[in-house]
């Protein structure tokens, strides 16, 4: 049901065409978050949406090798860890938790804060995208009512 790929050629080709566009736009939303509405959560959700679109259209067998559920779970942990690591890095340079102004990315303190924000947004986006992908995979794998377990 959920795992079977769509056999419709139009659906498959359209999904394959649209997904990279969504991902590029997601990266734009993520990295342009300093200057326009956007940021980590929004970019991450869009990346997850593109992956789920591919899973729906092409099926799990074709898209699991790209990003498996295990990789997605680890990616979610890594994203949260990036956030934590940037926050804890400020300890190393005598700041408080998440005080990016103390981390020596550059000479100017406001630029240091800007870089810290960017790193954190990347961590948030990774955590969001991977967490949503993993949740989708787990929900799709959940033993449904009356659904026979088919080995894939």
100 binds other proteins (CB under 8 A): yes
Q: Does the protein bind other proteins through residue 33 (CB under 8 A)?
A: yes
Q: Which of 25, 28, 41, 105 binds other proteins (CB under 8 A)?
A: 41
Q: Which stretch binds other proteins (CB under 8 A): 3-11, 13-21, 49-57, 69-77?
A: 69-77
Q: Quick one: 57 or 120, whose CB is closer to other proteins?
A: 120
Cβ proximity to other proteins: between 6 and 138 the closer is 138
Contact between 75 and 19 under an 8 Å Cβ cutoff? The reply is no
| Cα separation, 104 vs 146, whole angstroms | 58
In the complex, least distance from residue 65 CB atom to other proteins, rounded to whole angstroms? 18
Interface with other proteins in residues 105-144 (CB under 8 A): 108-111, 113-114, 116-117, 120-121, 123-124, 127-128, 130-132, 134-135, 138-139, 141-143
Residue 68 found at the interface with other proteins (CB under 8 A): no
The CA dihedral of 36, 41, 47, 48, to the nearest 10 degrees, is -150
Compute the distance between CA of residue 103 and CA of residue 29 in angstroms, rounded to an integer.
25
Distance CA 44, CA 75 (A): 12
Q: Does 73 bind other proteins (CB under 8 A)?
A: yes
For 33-50, b/e burial (b = at least 16 CB within 10 A) is beeeebbbbbbbbbbbbb
Site membership for other proteins, residue 147 (CB under 8 A): no
* Segment interacting with other proteins, rule: CB under 8 A, options 4-12, 15-23, 32-40, 54-62: 32-40
| Euclidean distance between CA atoms 99 and 93, whole angstroms | 10
């Amino acid at each position: 049901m959920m795992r079977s790929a769509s056999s419709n050629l139009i659906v498959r080709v359209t999904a394959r065409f649209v997904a990279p566009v969504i991902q590029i736009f997601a990266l734009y939303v993520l990295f342009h978050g300093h200057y326009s509405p956007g940021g980590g959560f929004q970019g991450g959700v869009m990346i997850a949406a593109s992956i789920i679109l591919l899973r729906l259209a092409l099926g799990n067998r074709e898209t699991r090798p790209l990003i498996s559920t295990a990789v997605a779970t680890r990616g979610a942990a890594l994203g949260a860890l990036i956030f934590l690591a940037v926050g804890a890095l400020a300890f190393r340079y005598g700041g408080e938790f998440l005080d990016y102004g103390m981390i020596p990315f550059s000479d100017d303190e406001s630029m240091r804060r800007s870089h810290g924000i960017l790193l954190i947004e990347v961590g948030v986006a990774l955590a969001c995208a991977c967490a949503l992908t993993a949740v989708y995979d787990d929900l799709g794998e959940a033993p449904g009512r009356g659904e026979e377990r088919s080995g894939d």
